[in-house]
Chain A
Amino acid sequence: MNGAHTGRRAAPDVAAPDEFATDEFATDEFARDDVAHDGIPPDEPARGELWRTVVRTMGEVLVTSGLIVLLFVVYELFVTDFLNGRVQEDLNREVHAEWEADPPVLGSQIPGDAFAVLHIPRLGADYQRVVLEGTAYADLKDGPGHYTESALPGEVGNVAIAGHRTTYGSPFRDLDRVQPGDPIVVETADSWFVYRVLGDPATGDYTGDPSGIPGQQIVVPTDVQVINPTPNAAADAPATGSYLTLTTCHPRFSARERLIVHAVLDGAGMSKADLPAGPPALTEG
């Protein structure tokens, strides 16, 4: 076959330029057919091969993206819970050790400090979460976070605490199950504070309280008045009592709204020295 090429190429010496061009073209065509038979990818099939590679790579990229998104869901729903479980265990041990060794003054905590433990018997007899100061992303990753401007446990005003509904230990996943009259117990270095969810415990109606503050409400994320000193009153209005407000996202897996639970202090704080095992409210429900 190569011999044929040489033969044809040798000819142009005497051929007219036109004829030469035609001849060269013919040779190319011929060569194409020629190498195809030798198993070397010729131009036309090579283009097909290229497209196949492009399409296959696109398919692989799409399937891979899908797997990455799936892995992200697994990460959010399971891995963050697992990681947070270990963080909470450590924090719980550390905060109790600190309270025994050198009890800090309530209010001296800076953002990021663990300073209280939240107990909600309705969410489980052993439900306890270490509360950190601050509601920044990093604080909420470790546990429920105390709004820095809000009151301290036991104070007149509103103790506001935010927590994840899903991911990172999901401390407030079942916050919607909390009923009127349910105790929410806040443990600090030296005291227990028992708050009770507002509303009518007999009927389960969240709106029954004379203060007008509902035990549960669902608001849009910009409704900051729910954490005011008197919930839902003006920000500068004097507090009418000692409240506790928990905020989390709603509905679950969405950030469209916020689920809010309001509670009011039931009696005075109790010394941990008198009640090392906790107030009777801890074993309710």
Chain B
Amino acid sequence: MYVWIWRHLPGGTASRALLSLLLVLAVAALLLFVVFPWVEPTLPFNDVTVDG
């Protein structure tokens, strides 16, 4: 998977390293701002109310 991505990135080592970093940041941002806020309400450890 990672080897495949590395092979498909254009340019030399420097350009590939930079693009990899950008990819990592993009994935992290997607997780932090889209996926996690969406998943979180379905998880139980944030229940603080008493309810029947």
Which residues of A pack against B, CB within 8 Å?
56-57, 60-61, 68, 71-72, 75-76, 79, 135, 137, 140, 145, 147, 162-168, 172, 219, 221-224, 226-227, 247-249, 253-255, 258, 260
Provide the residues of chain A in CB contact with B45, threshold 8 Å: 166, 249, 253-255
Query: By the criterion CB–CB under 8 Å, are B1 and A167 in contact?
Result: no
Provide the residues of chain B in CB contact with A258, threshold 8 Å: 48-50
Query: By the criterion CB–CB under 8 Å, are B49 and A57 in contact?
Result: no
Question: What 8 additional pairs, Cβ within 8 angstroms, besides A60-B2, A75-B36, A140-B49?
Answer: A72-B36, A135-B49, A137-B41, A162-B49, A223-B50, A247-B50, A253-B45, A255-B47
Provide the residues of chain A in CB contact with B46, threshold 8 Å: 137, 140, 164, 166-168, 249, 255
Query: By the criterion CB–CB under 8 Å, are B51 and A222 in contact?
Result: yes
Is B31 located at the chain interface by the 8 A CB criterion?
yes
How far does the alpha carbon of A166 sit from the alpha carbon of B1 in the complex, in Å? Answer: 36
Q: How far is the CB of B39 from chain A (nearest CB, A)?
A: 8
State the majority secondary structure of interface residues on A: mixed
Q: How far is the CB of B33 from chain A (nearest CB, A)?
A: 9
Within the complex, which residue of B48, B50, B52 is in contact with A163, where a contact is CB–CB below 8 Å? B48
Query: By the criterion CB–CB under 8 Å, are B44 and A224 in contact?
Result: no
Is B28 located at the chain interface by the 8 A CB criterion?
yes
How far does the alpha carbon of A239 sit from the alpha carbon of B28 in the complex, in Å? Answer: 51
Provide the residues of chain B in CB contact with A57, threshold 8 Å: 1
Q: Which 6 residue pairs of A and B lie closest in terms of their CB atoms, listed nearest first? A: A255-B47, A162-B49, A60-B1, A162-B48, A135-B49, A248-B48
Q: How far is the CB of A79 from chain B (nearest CB, A)?
A: 6
Within the complex, which residue of B2, B32, B47, B49 is in contact with A75, where a contact is CB–CB below 8 Å? B32
Query: By the criterion CB–CB under 8 Å, are A247 and B48 in contact?
Result: yes
Provide the residues of chain A in CB contact with B49, threshold 8 Å: 135, 140, 145, 147, 162, 221, 247, 258
Provide the residues of chain B in CB contact with A75, threshold 8 Å: 31-32, 36
How far does the alpha carbon of A116 sit from the alpha carbon of B10 in the complex, in Å? Answer: 56
Provide the residues of chain A in CB contact with B50, threshold 8 Å: 162, 219, 221-224, 226-227, 247, 258, 260
Q: How far is the CB of A51 from chain B (nearest CB, A)?
A: 15
How far does the alpha carbon of A227 sit from the alpha carbon of B2 in the complex, in Å? Answer: 54
How far does the alpha carbon of A45 sit from the alpha carbon of B38 in the complex, in Å? Answer: 45
Query: Which residue from chain B places its CB closest to the CB of A255 in the assembled complex?
Result: B47
Provide the residues of chain A in CB contact with B39, threshold 8 Å: 72
Provide the residues of chain B in CB contact with A249, threshold 8 Å: 45-48
Provide the residues of chain A in CB contact with B51, threshold 8 Å: 221-222, 224
